[in-house]
A and B are shown apart, each in its own frame.
Chain A
């Protein structure tokens, strides 16, 4: 059950705290943690009223166990407003670290709420969402036509919302002694990973890097050995920005056989660190001491940065023919927009604009507005190294998220 509650704090704090366990408190937490949590809850209450409805008829001001507990943990707060309930999601494992940060941030602000996320993979998340098993999902790819139709049915009478809330720059990183940055066009990168450019002192690399001492050394490209969204986005970038050189179709599975490869982001990064002349693509937050590539975009060289990654999402057009709440971006991989870094992974959060259960609607709405908020995006950036979404994108996302709360009322 979900209610926004506000109660005058009139109860002596010791008694309710002793009672708390028998009152069916849902969220586990130590009494010590509760003090801090309740303090944050006051701040969160303001945020929540901003995005939810504040119609007093639908939010009876009455005392409840949750409010008493909140008050019990915090002797100073005069009154506490809070959400209760459970909401479950599943999907993309790329979002896992960010999602954990969001859940932690949201739950510490709302101690009686329990949000779950099962990183089963994008495909599994989409299936479960369409089947109605979970309230929200994370997916590295937007829904395809078939899934979209099924999802619209599941969300009726509302619509399905696809929100690009997780933007993660992918860096091309290499291990060359004494070289920390190189300029490469998409065609050069494609040539290296297609194994056409095999030596570091190849004229095609040297031409873009005047003044850099390139060693006479073989290039060892390292790819992911497991199926992954990073590979899919990387091959999509090569396919669109350098179609002449990269003749393979975009795929989550590396299209070439042979050569060095490793499991997971840690695996490829470790492999690159272990060998001289190696190069790979991985989540930018993991670059560490490795050299990184500045991509050729238009006439300039753009190194990866959170702002540049967010910029390409802003510069890309919305996908057409989708429901209004579906903010799918067609990433413009061969963009020439100044300062945009086109090699990014955009992962979507799937939700409905209306839920059969009002409690679900309110919780999902509140949770997603936290995710889209500046604090939420900053928490993800810190925990997962993602790029915070731009204010322009936030302005598009927030009305959709707020609509979730209102429609259920």
Chain B
């Protein structure tokens, strides 16, 4: 990428206006540098705020902490935040497992299978999904989806109950992690679909035609040319979705019956809770030290999100070397 004027059509005026262009260019460079710096400052400010506000809880003794009614009896912040981190990861990973296959399917359909008119309409509808606020997803999940899926979870626990994940009997109403996973999956579907679709569309035409010319069917072409090319893009799209799922608050708060355990049972009520939902849940009645303890859990979430993003970067960077993309 280059920022210099590349239009060969009118070289003479370009030279004449070089000085004004130069000034505009410098202003623009300054602005974009400022914007870039701003994001770093904001990030540093958030990290600083979290550390500063969490400090009283991080340094408080066990006795002080047990005065908060929802801190476990041993008064350790670690035993409190542990199940929360676990629950957050379970929710996000579950959402990702449900969403990614569907998102890739939609993206491939739009980019390679659907008739042109249908594909643009479908892309538009998928993007619309992203515009629905999460509190609406929460309401929908709690009021409509949970009663609807209860018989399905019931069946799941009866037939697959021997797998610890689907341990029964399924809770009524279905305010369980499985329902949360489905709603989160719907919420992160648009972002994964949109990014994957763009990546698939950028597959070099020559690769596709070469595959077809060698006698590949359309599915084989997709498998051999499109998916390998788009793999790193799909991974970064998934990480974007994962970021959203990790931090999602309202939907989890409104759907899940929370509990602080390390249980993987997805169909039982009161087993898991996520960090973000827990902060929103306990904040209104929290004492100053309680608020500080909640912010300490927020700090944990910040670190997790950072780690996940760095992992994603690393994965993408590694793949980029031999995928032929970028």
Kindly state whether residue B56 has any CB partner on chain A within 8 Å. Answer: no
Kindly state whether residue B261 has any CB partner on chain A within 8 Å. Answer: yes
A261 adjacent to B270 (CB under 8 Å): yes
Measured between beta carbons, the chain B residues less than 8 angstroms from A263 are 253-254, 281
Chain A nearest CB: distance from B262 CB in Å?
A: 12
Chain B nearest CB: distance from A236 CB in Å?
A: 13
Q: How far is the CA of A334 from the CA of B171 in the complex (A)?
A: 34
User: A226-B285, A227-B286 are contacts. A271–B69 as well, Cβ < 8 Å?
Assistant: no
Q: How far is the CA of A123 from the CA of B68 in the complex (A)?
A: 12
A252 adjacent to B69 (CB under 8 Å): yes
Stretch from B139-147, B298-306, B313-321 forming part of the interface with A: B139-147
A227 adjacent to B270 (CB under 8 Å): no
Q: How far is the CA of A122 from the CA of B284 in the complex (A)?
A: 10
Chain A nearest CB: distance from B83 CB in Å?
A: 10
Within residues 159 to 184 of chain B, which ones have a CB less than 8 A from any CB in chain A? Answer: 169, 171-173, 175
Chain A nearest CB: distance from B291 CB in Å?
A: 10
A276 (CB) vs chain B CBs: closest residue: B172
Kindly state whether residue A70 has any CB partner on chain B within 8 Å. Answer: no
B173 adjacent to A274 (CB under 8 Å): yes
B142 adjacent to A225 (CB under 8 Å): no
Kindly state whether residue B257 has any CB partner on chain A within 8 Å. Answer: yes
Q: How far is the CA of A271 from the CA of B142 in the complex (A)?
A: 9
Q: Chain B, 236-269, contact with A by CB distance < 8 Å: what is the 0/1 string?
A: 0000000000000000011001111100000011
B270 adjacent to A257 (CB under 8 Å): yes
Kindly state whether residue A93 has any CB partner on chain B within 8 Å. Answer: yes
A261 adjacent to B285 (CB under 8 Å): no
A258 adjacent to B271 (CB under 8 Å): yes
Measured between beta carbons, the chain B residues less than 8 angstroms from A257 are 259-261, 270
Q: Chain A, 246-285, contact with B by CB distance < 8 Å: what is the 0/1 string?
A: 0000011100011111110001001100111110000000
User: Which residue of A227, A260, A276 is within 8 Å of B257 (Cβ)?
Assistant: A260
Chain B nearest CB: distance from A84 CB in Å?
A: 33
Kindly state whether residue B79 has any CB partner on chain A within 8 Å. Answer: no
A262 adjacent to B285 (CB under 8 Å): no
B254 adjacent to A274 (CB under 8 Å): no
User: A253-B70, A270-B143 are contacts. A259–B269 as well, Cβ < 8 Å?
Assistant: yes
User: A123-B287, A225-B257, A270-B142 are contacts. A260–B175 as well, Cβ < 8 Å?
Assistant: yes
Q: How far is the CA of A225 from the CA of B252 in the complex (A)?
A: 13
User: A225-B258, A251-B69 are contacts. A260–B171 as well, Cβ < 8 Å?
Assistant: yes
Q: How far is the CA of A276 from the CA of B260 in the complex (A)?
A: 25
Kindly state whether residue B282 has any CB partner on chain A within 8 Å. Answer: yes
Q: How far is the CA of A228 from the CA of B286 in the complex (A)?
A: 10
Chain B nearest CB: distance from A117 CB in Å?
A: 15
Chain B nearest CB: distance from A171 CB in Å?
A: 20
Q: Chain A, 204-232, contact with B by CB distance < 8 Å: what is the 0/1 string?
A: 00000000000000101010011110000
User: A252-B69, A263-B253 are contacts. A227–B282 as well, Cβ < 8 Å?
Assistant: yes
A220 adjacent to B172 (CB under 8 Å): yes
Q: How far is the CA of A254 from the CA of B285 in the complex (A)?
A: 14
Chain A nearest CB: distance from B277 CB in Å?
A: 9
Q: How far is the CA of A325 from the CA of B257 in the complex (A)?
A: 43
A224 (CB) vs chain B CBs: closest residue: B281
Chain A nearest CB: distance from B103 CB in Å?
A: 30
B269 adjacent to A258 (CB under 8 Å): yes
Within residues 75 to 128 of chain A, which ones have a CB less than 8 A from any CB in chain B? Answer: 93, 121-123
A277 adjacent to B172 (CB under 8 Å): yes
User: Which residue of A218, A227, A251, A271 is within 8 Å of B173 (Cβ)?
Assistant: A271
Chain A nearest CB: distance from B48 CB in Å?
A: 25
Q: How far is the CA of A225 from the CA of B254 in the complex (A)?
A: 11
A93 adjacent to B284 (CB under 8 Å): yes
Q: How far is the CA of A251 from the CA of B71 in the complex (A)?
A: 12
B285 adjacent to A123 (CB under 8 Å): yes
Chain B nearest CB: distance from A186 CB in Å?
A: 23
A249 (CB) vs chain B CBs: closest residue: B69
Measured between beta carbons, the chain B residues less than 8 angstroms from A122 are 285
Q: How far is the CA of A251 from the CA of B282 in the complex (A)?
A: 14
Chain B nearest CB: distance from A323 CB in Å?
A: 25
Measured between beta carbons, the chain B residues less than 8 angstroms from A262 are 175, 257
Q: How far is the CA of A277 from the CA of B173 in the complex (A)?
A: 10
Measured between beta carbons, the chain A residues less than 8 angstroms from B287 are 123
Chain A nearest CB: distance from B11 CB in Å?
A: 65
Q: How far is the CA of A188 from the CA of B169 in the complex (A)?
A: 24
User: A227-B69, A263-B254, A270-B143 are contacts. A258–B270 as well, Cβ < 8 Å?
Assistant: yes
A258 adjacent to B173 (CB under 8 Å): no
Q: How far is the CA of A257 from the CA of B147 in the complex (A)?
A: 23
A92 (CB) vs chain B CBs: closest residue: B285
B147 adjacent to A274 (CB under 8 Å): yes
A260 adjacent to B284 (CB under 8 Å): no
Q: How far is the CA of A267 from the CA of B139 in the complex (A)?
A: 11
User: A227-B286, A257-B261 are contacts. A271–B175 as well, Cβ < 8 Å?
Assistant: yes
Known contacts A259-B269, A274-B147; 4 further A-B pairs (Cβ under 8 A): A218-B169, A226-B285, A257-B270, A271-B175
Chain B residues at the A interface, C-beta cutoff of 8 Å = 69-70, 142-143, 146-147, 169, 171-173, 175, 253-254, 257-261, 268-271, 281-282, 284-287
A-B contact pairs, 14 of them (CB 8 A): A93-B285, A121-B284, A123-B285, A226-B285, A227-B70, A227-B286, A252-B69, A257-B259, A258-B261, A258-B271, A260-B175, A262-B257, A271-B173, A271-B175
